C-alpha cells in the first residue's frame, strides 16, 4: 500500500480537523518549546544544521508516514528556516499540506522571466487561496542581458539548456537557499524513472549550501517522493486546490514556456521538458568536457570498471566489427535489438533486469538480443555511427529492412521493450 494514502472527502474533513487539533496543541505546548526555539522576525526558527545520523533516523521514520506527516515534521524541526519551493505545477500540493499542518510556513518561487501566463495566474490564485505571500526570486538582470545579447533568446535550442538555466534558475535558487536551513521540493520517483529513482524523503542537499555554509548546512525534504501522479491529483481534487490551467492542455511537468510542451499518452511526464536534447542531460550525459576536474576524475574512475552487465545467456555480446556489420547490412535477416551500455552507468544497471526478462520472453519468438559496450574507446565511434547520446541507448534492427530504429522513451522495462519491437515489426 502506498505511504501516500488515498484521501476521500471524509478523510479530508478528518485531516483538516487533525490539523486544527495540531495547531491547538502547538499553542498549548509553546511554553515547553521556548527553551529550544529562537525567534527570527517574529517567526519560529528551530534547527540550523543536521548530521547524517539525524537524516537517516528521519528517513527511517518517514518510510511509514504520509506526506502530511513528513511536512509537519519538517516544519516542526526547522520552522522559519524552511521554505517550500513552488514551481507553479502540481507541487502546489506541498502548500496544501503545509496549510493542513496548522503551522506557519514560507513559500518561494523562481520567476525566470519566461514562464507561461497560466503559471503567473496560478501564483496569484495560490496567494489568494491560502492567504500567503510568495517570496519571488529573480535572475540577475545583467547576467540575463549579457546572455541574450551574446547568444539570442533561444540559444538553448542550439547548445543545450544548462547555460540559460544556470543564469535564470540555478543562480537565483542558490542565492535563496543560502538564506535557509531547509527546503521542500515536489520531486517524485515516478516522474522520470531514468533520473529520479533515488529520491529520499529527506537528505542533506548534495548540491546547495544553506545559511550556515558547509556540509550539512541545508536539508532537503521530498514529501511526495513515494506518491504517484494519480495520488497527487486525487488529493488536489478532493481539496479543491487551485491548479495550473496548462494541465488541462496536456502539460504535466511545467517549466519555462520555450522549454515545456504537452506530453503524449504513455510518455513519462518529464519527457515534455527539453525534448530536443534526446534525454542526454536527463541521464548519463557524455559531455565530460563540461565537467569539473573532480567530476571528470570520478567519471573516469567509474569507466575503469571491468564488471559487466546483461550476463544472461540470451543476450549476446558484440564487438565493434559485429555491430558495424549489423549496421551496414542491406537487409537484416533477423530482428535484433541492441543495448549500447556502460557497466558503470546506474541507468544501464537499472534496466538490466527488464532487458534480460525481455530476452527470455522474446528470443523464442525470433528476436535476437545483443549488447555492445560503448564507453571508453568505443564512445566516439558509437556517437558518430550509432546515434549514441546517452547511456543506455537501445537500437532495433528490424528483419527485412536496413538501418535501425532508436528507442526514444526512458521506459526500458520488458513490457515497454516488447511494445517498441512490435510497433516496428508487428505482433510477435
- Residues annotated as catalytic are 345, 348
Cell of 257: 514556456
Helices (H) and strands (E) in the chain, counts: 16, 15
Following CA atoms 191, 196, 201, 202 in sequence, which dihedral angle do they give, to the nearest 10 degrees? -140
311 exposure class (CB count in 10 Å sphere: 0-12, 13-18, 19+): exposed
Kindly report whether the peptide bond that precedes residue 392 is cis, defined as omega within 30 degrees of 0: yes
Which residue reads 520555450 in cell numbers? 258
CB 168 within 8 A of CB 145: no
d(C-alpha 349, C-alpha 372), whole Å: 14
DSSP conformational letter for 217: S
CB 393 within 8 A of CB 387: yes
Mutual angle of helices 229-239 and 92-101, in 10-degree steps = 60
How many residues make up the chain in this entry? 428
* Sign of the four-CA dihedral 215, 48, 84, 120: negative
d(C-alpha 295, C-alpha 237), whole Å: 43
Amino acid at each position: 500500500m502506498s505511504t501516500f494514502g488515498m484521501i476521500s472527502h471524509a478523510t479530508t474533513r478528518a485531516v483538516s480537523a487533525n490539523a486544527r487539533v495540531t495547531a491547538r496543541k502547538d499553542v498549548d505546548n509553546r511554553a515547553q518549546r521556548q527553551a529550544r526555539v529562537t525567534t527570527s522576525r517574529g517567526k519560529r526558527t528551530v534547527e540550523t544544521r543536521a548530521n547524517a545520523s539525524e537524516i537517516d533516523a528521519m528517513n527511517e521514520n518517514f518510510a511509514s508516514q504520509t506526506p502530511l506527516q513528513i511536512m509537519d515534521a519538517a516544519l516542526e524541526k526547522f520552522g522559519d528556516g524552511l521554505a517550500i519551493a513552488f514551481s507553479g505545477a502540481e507541487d502546489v500540493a506541498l502548500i496544501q499540506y503545509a496549510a493542513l499542518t496548522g503551522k506557519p510556513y514560507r513559500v518561494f518561487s523562481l520567476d525566470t522571466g519566461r514562464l507561461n501566463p497560466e503559471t503567473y495566474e496560478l501564483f496569484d490564485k495560490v496567494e489568494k487561496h491560502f492567504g500567503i505571500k510568495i517570496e519571488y526570486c529573480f535572475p540577475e538582470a545583467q547576467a540575463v542581458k549579457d546572455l541574450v545579447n551574446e547568444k539570442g533568446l533561444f540559444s538553448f535550442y542550439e547548445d543545450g539548456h544548462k547555460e540559460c538555466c544556470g543564469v535564470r534558475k540555478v543562480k537565483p535558487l542558490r542565492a535563496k537557499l543560502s538564506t535557509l536551513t531547509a527546503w521542500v521540493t515536489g520531486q517524485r520517483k515516478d516522474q522520470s524513472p531514468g533520473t529520479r529513482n533515488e529520491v529520499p524523503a529527506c537528505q542533506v542537499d548534495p548540491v546547495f549550501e544553506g545559511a550556515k555554509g558547509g556540509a550539512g548546512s541545508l536539508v532537503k525534504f521530498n514529501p511526495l517522493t513515494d506518491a504517484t501522479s494519480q495520488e497527487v491529483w486525487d488529493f488536489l481534487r478532493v481539496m479543491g486546490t487551485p491548479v495550473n490551467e496548462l494541465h488541462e492542455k496536456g502539460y504535466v511537468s511545467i517549466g519555462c514556456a520555450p522549454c515545456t510542451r504537452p506530453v503524449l499518452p504513455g510518455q513519462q511526464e518529464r519527457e515534455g521538458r527539453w525534448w530536443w536534447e534526446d534525454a542526454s542531460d536527463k541521464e548519463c550525459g557524455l559531455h565530460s568536457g563540461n565537467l569539473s576536474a573532480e567530476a571528470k576524475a570520478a567519471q573516469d574512475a567509474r569507466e575503469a570498471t571491468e564488471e559487466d552487465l546483461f550476463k544472461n545467456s540470451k543476450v549476446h555480446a558484440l564487438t565493434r566489427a559485429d555491430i558495424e556489420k549489423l549496421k551496414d547490412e542491406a537487409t537484416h535477416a533477423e530482428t535484433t535489438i541492441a543495448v549500447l551500455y556502460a557497466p558503470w552507468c546506474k541507468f544501464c544497471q537499472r534496466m538490466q533486469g527488464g532487458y534480460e526478462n525481455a530476452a527470455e520472453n522474446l528470443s523464442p519468438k525470433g528476436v535476437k538480443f545483443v549488447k555492445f559496450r560503448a564507453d571508453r574507446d568505443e564512445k566516439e565511434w558509437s556517437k558518430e555511427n550509432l546515434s549514441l547520446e546517452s547511456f543506455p541507448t537501445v537500437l532495433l534492427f528490424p528483419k527485412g529492412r536496413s538501418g535501425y530504429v532508436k528507442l526514444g522513451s526512458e521506459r526500458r522495462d520488458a513490457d515497454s521493450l516488447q511494445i517498441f519491437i512490435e510497433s516496428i515489426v508487428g505482433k510477435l
